[in-house]
């Protein structure tokens, strides 16, 4: 903050001094966040108690640590005016490209893909943080050209800005994140007011591209996707076809969720989770664990918390003090919605397996921290929006 | 604007377009949540039970522990078919090294240990043909047959090889040694054709009623007694139910069920008689060879005439039953059962039908007596020849016996006497297409149909009738036509040529009945059918259903089930008629001048026996002898035949004497007869 406070800044400080910053936070959003953290910790504690012999709390402790750090980061971010990020749009976009290039250069390979950068304390997955960087950078670029949104060239340029990093992520290969990038970009354009025909054209282009990648290119001998990605994308159409291989995970997940019935089988009797039939039970398939262990009741609670989260995010889109805020909130909304529905849809067999994590529920530092930063931004937009309302009223009084 | 507006009214204004788009986003979110909730409701609340069941089977694996099959013991309790513990090498394909080079290296080493060739060879797996080593071929076939199951690549490993594998288990990931039970036959060739073989139940067999409730992979009886009584012998495999994780590693035992050995099968066979019988048959063949007859095979069967219990049954040549206890190589098969071995696997006592010669005369006699054509006292004047149109038939050796009654006709086997009866018993082919009284009585005695013994592979023989003859002629004509029209296709359709009839295309004539009257012509029967017919003479008209199984017992010897099939039928023969036939048979065996008096005259028990000599064109005669001893305590009927053995008294009768000697504890004497009667 600058040394000589402006009247408005002073008034903000007066307000925050008087009523405390916490009261300007969105309490429902905070409640949903904390509720999901609690659900995540309880689920992971039960699911991973046998994963590492001798240390039943290994994953739980780490996840709790990430949660504490994440919540602190989020709260810190709420005190910061997100609007200033507009000035840093080029460095942010540069970081987005740079990190993803870096991971291709020196990332470590896990299960056939190069997505991680090993840091001293934890492994870092740039494609996760990249989602947020893209939201911020793209929102800033949109605001710059807000008066020329009607032009086709604007839409094309903005979309290319998003497709560049998406392509980098796809090479890693991380198809799930690449699709998040595209979705986020579309959502930002949508909120910004890009004409419907442009968006329709883009969606049509993507449909054509999908057909090319899945059907035409392999026939011509060009394999854009890894074979396992194709199997996952096409396998969910007929999950009982090949139970041991491509669709094994979906079947096991369905069995896990279905066997939970109304109230769940409890931690001790959740055999799908406990005997490792459920793959990735603390990361990608954590929702299946909830379904098996706590049944329809538990799954419905988690989904309700997400519904609350989404509702409050939508509300923040409308509360934002400027277009930049609304776009960031729209991007975050798209990111959360996409991840929640693709991940949950995957576990209940209505979406293909794309390796998308469940925000706030899945184990994993990068995804957790990214989500907290996103929520911090949302809270910041909320705080700034409330301040703007309040101070606007006050400024009128003062003038 | 003046004054302080309430905070709620001071919302930042949003454009209508943004409001609309936010509303659309909200609508999408609402729709997606609704879909997810309904899907969850469907999965968890509506179909939960089904998924819960799947989750239970997911975590449970049954590890099968093979149950030993029941043993087979003779009527006195001596084990004839036992179990032997052996080790098998089992490969678990998913646990073999995944890298092709490492996999090949391990299989090559294992081939060396097991004594298999590591050289690649053609290997058919399903519809594919690959070139891999023998061991790899076995593994691939196993995976193709039953995916995810372990493959047994070698059974009955030598002890030291087993130790080598057990010691170096780490060198051979995915290879394990498992105990198995194999059949063992301590008396080797004794009864080899009766017991049958065991093997893994086949895919098609699982659907059969006979193997209902059998799980895939179980060892079941595939032939002979093993097949017939499989239900009792099989036992119940044990199962250890283990909880497994996703990799199939056992995580804990839920419960286990010990394997239950199958029940024992007590046979009606008498081991002593069976062994002596096979030796006697060999002696008969030896006698025949001594006479210059090129005999290589034969058969005998001994029954209890009261109830059809088979006391002994043998077929020569025989083989060591242990050969089939473990997989047999093609080479070993060829050596033991290939060309030049004269079909040791065929049980000639039930699976081979022959012309039976004069032993059939009891049927002709019965038919003539009951039909009233003759009485026991009717005298026939034998001139040594019998004229039938242009055909002149003579007695064997051209002998003329003068006036004879039935008793003498049987005693010395007067052919003309029975030719005459055959001619007179012939029925009009147009009104009686199935033949007359002779055919009726042949059927009543059990000829022409399998006896229903509890062994597989029994044949029914042939009773020639006008209708049968016509049908054979038609088949022959069709075959000949096929060869004329399209010789190539015909050779494929009729690999052994047109052998359905004699080619004359002649319909039924009286001569057919005349030949039948002495057991020649087109008539065919098995030694067992003959024994059953003579048993009916002995027991007064009961046509028994022969059986080898006697009791099902538990391992402690308690009887679980008695095997006593009801007789096939009772035939009504007036006592005087029956007595006349019996007298003739007794005279033939033990009165001076009888056809087998040389052989049986000195036997210390009353013997009722009939020789038979079946004639073939272009081959040596087949020797037959059937006899019974109506002992009040242990009656017995024995039928024996020696292929290409010459006259009945020369080869078959001495063998039967040896068998009767064993049964009654009489000193065994090899006495060959000299009677040259048919």
Tens-place pLDDT, residues B29-51 = 999 999 999 999 998 988 888 88
CA distance to A303, B212, B518, B613, B647, per residue, from B365 (Å): 97, 48, 10, 18, 22
Indicate if the pLDDT at residue B9 is higher than 50. no
CA distance to A177, A184, A314, A315, per residue, from B19 (Å): 29, 19, 10, 10
Q: Per the domain annotation, does A338 fall within a domain?
A: yes
Identify the residue with better confidence: A144 or B350. Answer: B350
| Structure-token match 């052994």, residue found | B496
A295 to chain B, any CB pair closer than 8 A? The answer is: yes
B59 to chain A, any CB pair closer than 8 A? The answer is: yes
Inter-chain CB proximity B36 and A348 less than 8 Å = yes
pLDDT (tens digit, 9 = 90+) per residue, B68-121? 999 999 999 999 999 988 888 888 887 788 788 888 888 898 888 888 888 888
CATH architecture of B62-83+181-267: Alpha-Beta Complex (3.90)
pLDDT (tens digit, 9 = 90+) per residue, A8-41? 555 555 555 555 555 688 999 999 999 999 999 9
- Cβ(B298)–Cβ(B641) under 8 Å? yes
Residue A228 host element (H or E): helix A227-235
* Cα Rg, chain A, nearest whole Å: 22
What per-residue confidence (pLDDT) applies to A300? Answer: 94
DSSP annotation string for A313-328: HHHHHHH-SSHHHHHH
What per-residue confidence (pLDDT) applies to A16? Answer: 55
- Cβ(A63)–Cβ(A305) under 8 Å? no
Strand-pair category, B72-73 with B151-155: unpaired
Q: What chain B residue is nearest to A344 in terms of C-alpha separation?
A: B36
What per-residue confidence (pLDDT) applies to A244? Answer: 43
Mean pLDDT for all residues in chain B: 88
Interface of B with A in 237-276 (CB under 8 A): 243-247, 251
B46 to chain A, any CB pair closer than 8 A? The answer is: no
| Structure-token match 């839409």, residue found | A155
Shortest distance between the Cα of B56 and any Cα of chain A, in A, equals 8
Inter-chain CB proximity B37 and A303 less than 8 Å = yes
Query: Looking at beta carbons, which pairs linking A90-97 to residues 24 or more positions away fall under 8 Å?
Result: A92/A133, A92/A136, A92/A137, A92/A140, A93/A133, A93/A137, A93/A141, A93/A161, A95/A133, A96/A130, A96/A133, A96/A134, A96/A137, A96/A165, A97/A164, A97/A165, A97/A168
B29 to chain A, any CB pair closer than 8 A? The answer is: yes
The rounded distance, in Å, linking the Cα atoms of B127 and B125 is: 6
Tally of residues, chain B: 678
The rounded distance, in Å, linking the Cα atoms of B586 and B580 is: 10
Tally of residues, chain A: 399
Cβ burial, residue B489 (10 Å; 0-12/13-18/19+):
exposed
Shortest distance between the Cα of B48 and any Cα of chain A, in A, equals 5
* Cα Rg, chain B, nearest whole Å: 36
CA distance to B313, B337, B454, B542, per residue, from B350 (Å): 9, 19, 11, 20
The rounded distance, in Å, linking the Cα atoms of B468 and B433 is: 8
Shortest distance between the Cα of A106 and any Cα of chain B, in A, equals 28
The rounded distance, in Å, linking the Cα atoms of B226 and B69 is: 10
Q: SS3 breakdown of chain B: % helix, strand, coil, rounded to 5? A: 40, 20, 40
What per-residue confidence (pLDDT) applies to B178? Answer: 81
- Mutation target vs B (from A23, A50, A196, A259; most B CBs, 10 A cutoff): A259
Handedness of CA A389, A392, A397, A398 (dihedral sign): positive
The rounded distance, in Å, linking the Cα atoms of B129 and A373 is: 60
Q: Per the domain annotation, does A399 fall within a domain?
A: no
Inter-chain CB proximity B55 and A385 less than 8 Å = no
- Cβ(A187)–Cβ(A353) under 8 Å? no
What per-residue confidence (pLDDT) applies to A238? Answer: 47
The rounded distance, in Å, linking the Cα atoms of A79 and A16 is: 10
The rounded distance, in Å, linking the Cα atoms of B5 and B350 is: 114
- Cβ(B650)–Cβ(B641) under 8 Å? no
Handedness of CA B383, B389, B392, B395 (dihedral sign): negative
Inter-chain CB proximity B52 and A261 less than 8 Å = yes
Indicate if the pLDDT at residue B3 is higher than 50. no
Read off the tokens for B57.
């089977």
The rounded distance, in Å, linking the Cα atoms of B442 and A196 is: 99
Fold annotation for B271-317+347-465+508-664: Beta-lactamase (3.40.710)
Indicate if the pLDDT at residue B274 is higher than 80. yes
- Cβ(A232)–Cβ(A352) under 8 Å? yes
Q: A24: which DSSP letter?
A: G
pLDDT class of B146 with cuts at 50, 70, 90: low
Domain with A365 in it? 28-194+226-393
| Structure-token match 């030796």, residue found | B279
Domain ranges of chain B: 62-83+181-267, 271-317+347-465+508-664
What per-residue confidence (pLDDT) applies to A276? Answer: 76
Please enumerate in sequence order all residues whose Cβ is within 8 A of that of B256, keeping only pairs 6 or more positions apart, or say none: B238, B239, B240, B241
Read off the tokens for B566.
């009801």
Read off the tokens for B297.
């095979």
What per-residue confidence (pLDDT) applies to B83? Answer: 92
- Cβ(B599)–Cβ(B657) under 8 Å? yes
User: Of all residues in chain A, what percent carry a pLDDT higher than 90?
Assistant: 33
- Mutation target vs A (from B1, B8, B9, B12; most A CBs, 10 A cutoff): B12
Indicate if the pLDDT at residue B525 is higher than 80. yes
- Cβ(A177)–Cβ(A130) under 8 Å? yes
Identify the residue with better confidence: B161 or B541. Answer: B541
Strand-pair category, B619-629 with A113-118: unpaired
pLDDT (tens digit, 9 = 90+) per residue, B17-27? 888 999 999 99
Indicate if the pLDDT at residue B53 is higher than 50. yes
Cis amide leading into A173 (omega within 30): yes
The rounded distance, in Å, linking the Cα atoms of B206 and A64 is: 56
pLDDT (tens digit, 9 = 90+) per residue, B200-225? 777 677 778 888 878 777 888 988 99
B378 to chain A, any CB pair closer than 8 A? The answer is: no
What per-residue confidence (pLDDT) applies to B11? Answer: 39
For B119-143, what is the mean pLDDT? Answer: 84
Inter-chain CB proximity A187 and B32 less than 8 Å = no
Strand-pair category, B198-200 with B219-221: antiparallel
Three-class secondary structure of residue B308 per DSSP = coil
The rounded distance, in Å, linking the Cα atoms of B551 and B559 is: 7
The rounded distance, in Å, linking the Cα atoms of B168 and B109 is: 12
CA distance to A277, B88, B94, B199, B443, per residue, from B248 (Å): 10, 22, 11, 28, 62
| Structure-token match 């304390």, residue found | A121
Identify the residue with better confidence: B56 or B413. Answer: B413
Three-class secondary structure of residue A277 per DSSP = coil
The rounded distance, in Å, linking the Cα atoms of A276 and A47 is: 10
Q: Per the domain annotation, does A367 fall within a domain?
A: yes
Q: Indicate left, alpha or beta for B235 from its phi (over 0: left) and psi (-120 to 50: alpha).
A: left
Cβ burial, residue B655 (10 Å; 0-12/13-18/19+):
buried
Which stretches in chain A have pLDDT values below 70?
1-23, 106-124, 218-247, 391-399
Indicate if the pLDDT at residue B647 is higher than 80. yes
What is the maximal distance between C-alpha atoms in chain A? Answer: 73
What per-residue confidence (pLDDT) applies to A125? Answer: 76
pLDDT (tens digit, 9 = 90+) per residue, B414-457? 999 999 999 999 999 999 999 999 999 999 999 999 999 999 89
| Structure-token match 């210390």, residue found | B604
pLDDT class of B4 with cuts at 50, 70, 90: very low
Which residues of chain A does B7 touch, with a Cβ-Cβ cutoff of 8 Å? 389-390, 393
Read off the tokens for B29.
């979110």
Please enumerate in sequence order all residues whose Cβ is within 8 A of that of A389, keeping only pairs 6 or more positions apart, or say none: A321, B7, B10, B11, B12
- Cβ(B377)–Cβ(B640) under 8 Å? no
Inter-chain CB proximity B44 and A260 less than 8 Å = yes
* CB neighbourhood size of B410 (10 A): 29
Most confident of A267-281, B224-238, B240-254: B224-238
Inter-chain CB proximity B54 and A255 less than 8 Å = yes
How many domains in chain A?
1
Q: Per the domain annotation, does A215 fall within a domain?
A: no
Q: Indicate left, alpha or beta for B639 from its phi (over 0: left) and psi (-120 to 50: alpha).
A: beta
- Cβ(B590)–Cβ(B601) under 8 Å? yes
For the stretch A366-392, what's the b/e string if a residue is b when 16 or more beta carbons lie within 10 angstroms of its beta carbon? bbbbbbbbbbbbbbbbbbbbbbbbbbe
User: Of all residues in chain B, what percent carry a pLDDT higher than 70?
Assistant: 95
User: Could you tell me which of B332, B364, B380, B294 has the C-alpha nearest to residue B616?
Assistant: B294
Residue A147 host element (H or E): none
* CB neighbourhood size of B86 (10 A): 18
Which residues of chain B does A254 touch, with a Cβ-Cβ cutoff of 8 Å? 43, 51
Q: What chain B residue is nearest to A288 in terms of C-alpha separation?
A: B40
The rounded distance, in Å, linking the Cα atoms of B499 and B506 is: 15
What per-residue confidence (pLDDT) applies to B608? Answer: 97
What per-residue confidence (pLDDT) applies to B316? Answer: 93
What per-residue confidence (pLDDT) applies to A20? Answer: 52
Read off the tokens for A95.
């970081």
Identify the residue with better confidence: B99 or B546. Answer: B546
Which residues of chain A does B48 touch, with a Cβ-Cβ cutoff of 8 Å? 258-262
């Amino acid at each position: 903050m600058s040394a000589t406070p402006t009247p408005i800044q002073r008034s903000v400080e007066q307000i925050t001094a008087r009523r405390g910053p916490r009261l300007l936070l969105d309490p429902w959003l905070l409640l949903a966040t904390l509720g999901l953290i609690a659900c995540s910790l309880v689920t992971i504690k039960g699911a991973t108690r046998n994963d590492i012999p001798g240390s039943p709390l290994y994953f739980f402790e780490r996840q709790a640590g990430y949660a504490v750090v994440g919540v602190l980061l989020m709260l810190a971010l709420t005190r910061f005016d997100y609007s200033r990020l507009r000035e840093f749009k080029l460095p942010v976009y540069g970081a987005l490209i740079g990190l993803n290039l870096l991971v291709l250069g020196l990332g470590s390979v896990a299960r056939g893909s190069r997505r991680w950068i090993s840091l001293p304390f934890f492994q870092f997955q740039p494609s996760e943080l990249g989602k947020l960087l893209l939201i911020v950078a793209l929102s800033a670029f949109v605001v710059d050209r807000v008066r020329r949104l009607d032009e086709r060239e604007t839409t094309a340029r903005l979309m290319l800005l998003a497709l560049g990093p998406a392509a980098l992520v796809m090479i890693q290969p991380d198809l799930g994140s690449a699709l998040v990038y595209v979705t986020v970009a579309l959502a930002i354009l949508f909120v910004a007011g890009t004409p419907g025909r442009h968006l329709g054209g883009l969606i049509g282009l993507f449909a054509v591209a999908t057909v090319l990648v899945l059907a035409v290119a392999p026939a011509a001998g060009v394999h854009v996707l890894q074979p396992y990605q194709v199997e996952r994308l096409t396998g969910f159409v007929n999950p009982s076809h090949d139970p041991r291989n491509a669709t094994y995970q979906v079947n096991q997940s369905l069995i896990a969720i279905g066997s939970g019935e109304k109230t769940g089988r409890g931690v001790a009797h959740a055999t799908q989770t406990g005997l490792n039939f459920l793959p990735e039970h603390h990361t990608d398939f954590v929702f299946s664990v909830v379904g098996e262990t706590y049944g329809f009741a538990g799954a419905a609670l988690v989904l309700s918390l997400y519904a609350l989260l989404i509702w409050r995010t939508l509300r923040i889109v409308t509360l934002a003090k400027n277009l930049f805020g609304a776009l960031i909130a729209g991007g975050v909304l798209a990111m959360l919605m996409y991840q929640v529905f693709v991940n949950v849809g995957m576990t209940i067999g209505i979406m293909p397996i794309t390796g998308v994590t469940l925000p706030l529920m899945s184990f994993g530092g990068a995804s957790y921290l990214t989500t907290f930063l996103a929520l911090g931004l949302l809270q910041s937009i909320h705080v700034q929006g409330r301040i703007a309302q309040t101070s606007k009223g006050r400024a009128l009084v003062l003038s | 604007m003046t004054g302080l507006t309430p905070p709620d009214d001071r919302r930042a204004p949003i454009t209508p377009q943004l409001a609309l788009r936010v509303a659309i986003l909200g609508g999408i979110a609402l729709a997606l949540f609704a879909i997810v909730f309904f899907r969850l409701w469907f999965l968890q609340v509506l179909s939960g039970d089904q998924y819960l069941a799947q989750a239970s089977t997911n975590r449970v694996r049954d590890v099968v522990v093979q149950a030993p099959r029941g043993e087979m013991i003779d009527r006195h309790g001596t084990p004839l078919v036992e179990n032997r513990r052996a080790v098998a090498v089992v490969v678990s394909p998913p646990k073999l090294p995944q890298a092709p080079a490492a996999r090949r290296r391990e299989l090559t080493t294992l081939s060396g240990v097991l004594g298999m060739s590591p050289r690649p060879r053609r290997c058919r797996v399903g519809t594919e043909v690959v070139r891999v080593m023998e061991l790899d071929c076995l593994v691939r076939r196993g995976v193709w047959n039953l995916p995810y199951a372990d493959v047994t690549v070698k059974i009955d490993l030598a002890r030291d090889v087993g130790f080598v594998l057990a010691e170096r288990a780490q060198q051979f990931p995915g290879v394990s040694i498992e105990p198995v039970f194999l059949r063992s036959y301590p008396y080797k060739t004794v009864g080899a054709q009766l017991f049958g073989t065991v093997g893994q139940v086949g895919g098609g067999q699982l659907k059969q009623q006979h193997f209902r409730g059998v799980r895939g992979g179980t060892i079941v009886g595939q032939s002979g007694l093993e097949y017939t009584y499989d239900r009792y012998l099989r036992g119940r495999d044990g199962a250890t139910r283990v909880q497994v994780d996703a990799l199939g590693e056992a995580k804990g035992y839920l419960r286990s069920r010990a394997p239950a050995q199958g029940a024992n099968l007590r046979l009606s066979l008498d081991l002593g008689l069976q062994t002596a019988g096979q030796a006697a048959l060999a002696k008969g063949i030896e006698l025949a060879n001594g006479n210059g007859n090129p005999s290589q095979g034969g058969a005998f069967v001994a029954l209890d005439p009261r109830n059809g219990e088979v006391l002994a049954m043998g077929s020569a040549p025989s083989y060591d039953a242990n050969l089939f206890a473990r997989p047999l190589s093609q080479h070993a098969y060829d050596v033991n059962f290939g060309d030049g071995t004269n079909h040791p696997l065929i049980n000639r006592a039930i699976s081979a039908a022959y012309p039976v010669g004069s032993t059939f005369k009891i049927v002709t006699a019965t038919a003539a007596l009951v039909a009233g054509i003759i009485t026991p006292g009717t005298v026939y004047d034998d001139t040594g020849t019998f004229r039938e149109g242009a055909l002149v038939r003579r007695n064997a050796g051209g002998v003329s016996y003068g006036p004879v009654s039935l008793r003498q006709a049987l005693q010395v086997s007067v052919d003309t006497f029975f030719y005459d009866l055959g001619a007179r018993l012939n029925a009009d082919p147009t009104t009686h297409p199935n033949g007359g009284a002779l055919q009726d009585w042949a059927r009543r005695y059990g000829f022409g149909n399998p006896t229903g013994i509890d062994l597989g592979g029994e044949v029914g023989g042939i009773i020639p009738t006008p209708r049968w003859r016509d049908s054979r002629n038609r088949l022959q004509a069709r075959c000949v036509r096929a060869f004329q029209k399209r010789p190539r296709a015909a050779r494929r359709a009729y690999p052994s040529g047109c052998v359905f009839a004699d080619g004359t295309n002649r319909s039924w004539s009286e001569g057919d009945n005349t030949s039948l009257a002495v057991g020649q012509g087109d008539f065919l029967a098995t030694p067992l059918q003959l024994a059953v017919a003579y048993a009916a003479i002995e027991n007064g008209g009961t046509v028994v259903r022969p059986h080898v199984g006697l009791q099902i017992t538990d391992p402690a010897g308690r009887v679980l089930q008695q095997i006593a099939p009801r007789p096939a039928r009772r035939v009504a023969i007036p006592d005087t008629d029956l007595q006349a036939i019996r007298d003739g048979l007794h005279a033939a065996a033990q009165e001076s001048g009888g056809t087998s008096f040389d052989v049986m005259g000195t036997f210390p028990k009353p013997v009722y026996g009939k020789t038979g000599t079946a004639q073939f064109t272009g081959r040596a005669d087949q020797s037959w002898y059937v006899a019974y001893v109506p002992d009040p305590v242990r009656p017995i009927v024995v039928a024996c035949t020696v292929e290409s053995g010459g006259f009945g008294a020369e080869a078959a009768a001495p063998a039967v004497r040896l068998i009767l000697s064993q049964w009654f504890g009489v000193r065994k004497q090899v006495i060959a007869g000299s009677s040259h009667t048919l």
